[in-house]
């Protein structure tokens, strides 16, 4: 289908902000450019060379604030609280995001090297200096959060298994291509997950299939994500050195730094007014503290406040609350500033 500007609709989200969206499609970068006017502030910026990896993601994350933490602990699970958006499905969908681990970044880096250098040896791949983490700097990869100080990170397998048993009568959930949403600088591709009992209700959305050109597919228990914008702020340039099978990173001077769009994948579970349940121990095991990312939406707790809240709601847990670690910290060993 040839896409035109008229096919991108506009609505208000629950924060009263305008967002443009397309139902039933995960737009490629070229499709997005066909639909968005040339005057867009970020999309048409001329950015330096950067890697285009493929991530095989095995975890999902759900960020929330103190009020949300209290509700999740009280309910022993996740549910939808309200709907202040013009999206008719927003009040019945439970939202998660892909959580890309350092190991998955490293694996994506190795795939990039193998695709680029056909004669790359195993030793060369193993010894190659890490470079991809310098580009994975968009909020999609951040240890910080705008939504709240509490991040639940679950194995994808656990979330889908709980959903299968609680919402699908033991059958496999159905996955569909729900929408692409364009914000000021962010592009969000959403995958809809629902029970087979609701096939007719969501039939207008295409099934999520194993398409090698798709932005996101589900295969072998993982979401395969092929982002087209991983940096938001491009302060590095990728340099390929074919003669030695190596990819180097060149830091750019500030005047050459470019701002660009960034994309991410959201997973929307259809739960209606029910709760996706997990026991208290499982919730606590998968909980970490997030620093504030700006601009924050609502009130963000300090680390000390968060520790007090977690101790209040899990008084029998002796394990200290851990902080989310950045990809840069993982790859460089640089310790985060203390609170």
Convert the pLDDT of each residue in 278-297 to its tens digit: 999 999 999 999 999 988 88
Instruction: Identify whether 244 is part of a domain.
Output: yes
76 falls in which pLDDT band (50, 70, 90)?
very high
Full 3-state SS string of the chain? CCCCHHHCEEEECCCCCEEEEEECCCCCHHHHHHHCCCCCCCCCCCCCCCCCCCEEECEEEEEECHHHHHHHHHHCEECCCCCCCCCCCHHHEEEEEECCCHHHHHHHHHHHHHHHCCCCCHHHHHHCCCCHHHCCCCHHHCCEECCCCEEEEEEHHHHHHHHHHHHCCCCCCEEEEEEEEECCCEEEEEEEEECHHHCCCCCCCCECCCCCCCCEEEECCEEEECCCCCCCEECEEEEEEHHHCEEEEEECCHHHCEECCEEEEEEEEECCCCCEECCHHHHHHCEEECEECCCCCCCCCCHHHHHHHHHHHCCCCCCCCCECCCHHHHHHCCCCCCC
Instruction: Identify whether 30 is part of a domain.
Output: yes
- pLDDT at residue 8, as a whole number: 82
- pLDDT at residue 334, as a whole number: 72
Instruction: Identify whether 337 is part of a domain.
Output: no
- pLDDT at residue 59, as a whole number: 99
* Residues 299, 67: Cα–Cα separation, whole Å: 10
Classify residue 110 as exposed, middle or buried by CB count within 10 Å of its CB (0-12, 13-18, 19+).
middle
State the angle between helix axes of 303-313 and 66-75 in degrees (0 to 180), rounded to the nearest 10: 20
Give yes or no for a contact between 98 and 188, defined as CB atoms under 8 angstroms apart. Answer: no
Q: Is the pLDDT of residue 60 over 80?
A: yes
Instruction: Identify whether 339 is part of a domain.
Output: no
Instruction: Identify whether 82 is part of a domain.
Output: yes
What is the span of the domain harbouring residue 207? 5-332
Give yes or no for a contact between 315 and 305, defined as CB atoms under 8 angstroms apart. Answer: no
Instruction: Identify whether 99 is part of a domain.
Output: yes
- pLDDT at residue 91, as a whole number: 81
Q: Is the pLDDT of residue 30 over 70?
A: yes
Which residues make beta-bridge pairs with 292?
A: 145
* Residues 244, 129: Cα–Cα separation, whole Å: 13
Count of domains for the chain? 1
Q: Is the pLDDT of residue 206 over 90?
A: yes
Mean pLDDT of 320-333: 94
* Residues 184, 322: Cα–Cα separation, whole Å: 32
Q: pLDDT by residue (tens digit) across 232-266?
A: 999 999 999 999 999 999 999 987 888 999 999 99
- pLDDT at residue 256, as a whole number: 81
335 falls in which pLDDT band (50, 70, 90)?
low
Q: Which of 137, 140, 141, 144 is nearest to 290 (CA)?
A: 144
Mean pLDDT of 318-322: 96
- Return mean pLDDT, the chain: 92
| CA 267 distance to own-chain centroid | 9
Give yes or no for a contact between 279 and 77, defined as CB atoms under 8 angstroms apart. Answer: no
Of residues 33 and 149, more confidence is placed in 149
Instruction: Identify whether 106 is part of a domain.
Output: yes
Specify the pTM: 0.93
- pLDDT at residue 106, as a whole number: 96
Instruction: Identify whether 127 is part of a domain.
Output: yes
* Residues 215, 224: Cα–Cα separation, whole Å: 8
């Amino acid at each position: 289908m040839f896409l035109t500007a008229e096919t991108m609709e506009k609505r208000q989200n629950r924060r009263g902000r305008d967002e443009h969206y397309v139902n039933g499609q995960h737009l490629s970068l070229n499709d997005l450019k066909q639909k968005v006017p040339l005057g867009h502030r970020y999309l048409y910026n001329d950015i330096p060379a950067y890697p285009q990896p493929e991530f095989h993601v095995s975890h999902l994350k759900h960020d929330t604030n103190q009020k949300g933490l209290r509700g999740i602990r009280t309910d022993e699970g996740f549910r939808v609280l309200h709907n202040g958006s013009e999206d008719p499905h927003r009040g019945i969908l439970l939202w998660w995001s892909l959580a890309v681990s350092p190991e998955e970044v490293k694996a994506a880096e190795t795939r990039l090297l193998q695709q680029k250098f056909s004669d790359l040896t195993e030793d060369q791949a193993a010894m190659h200096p890490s470079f991809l983490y310098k580009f994975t700097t968009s909020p999609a990869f951040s240890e910080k959060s705008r939504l709240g100080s509490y991040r639940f990170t679950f194995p994808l397998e656990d979330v889908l298994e709980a959903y299968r048993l609680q919402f699908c009568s033991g059958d496999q959930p159905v996955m569909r291509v729900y929408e692409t949403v364009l914000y000021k600088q962010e592009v969000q591709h959403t995958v809809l997950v629902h029970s087979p009992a609701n096939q007719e209700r969501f039939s207008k959305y295409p099934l999520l299939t194993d398409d090698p050109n798709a932005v996101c597919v589900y295969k072998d228990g993982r979401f395969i994500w092929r982002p087209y914008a991983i940096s938001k702020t491009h302060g590095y340039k990728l340099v390929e050195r074919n003669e030695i099978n190596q990819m180097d990173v060149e830091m750019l001077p500030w005047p050459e730094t470019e701002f660009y769009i960034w994309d991410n994948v959201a997973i929307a579970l259809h739960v209606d007014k029910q709760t996706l349940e997990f026991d208290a121990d499982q919730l606590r095991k998968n909980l970490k503290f997030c620093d504030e990312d700006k601009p924050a939406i609502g009130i963000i707790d300090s680390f000390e406040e968060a520790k007090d809240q977690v101790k209040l709601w899990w008084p029998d847990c002796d394990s200290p609350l851990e902080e989310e670690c950045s990809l840069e910290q993982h790859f460089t060993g640089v310790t985060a500033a203390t609170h």
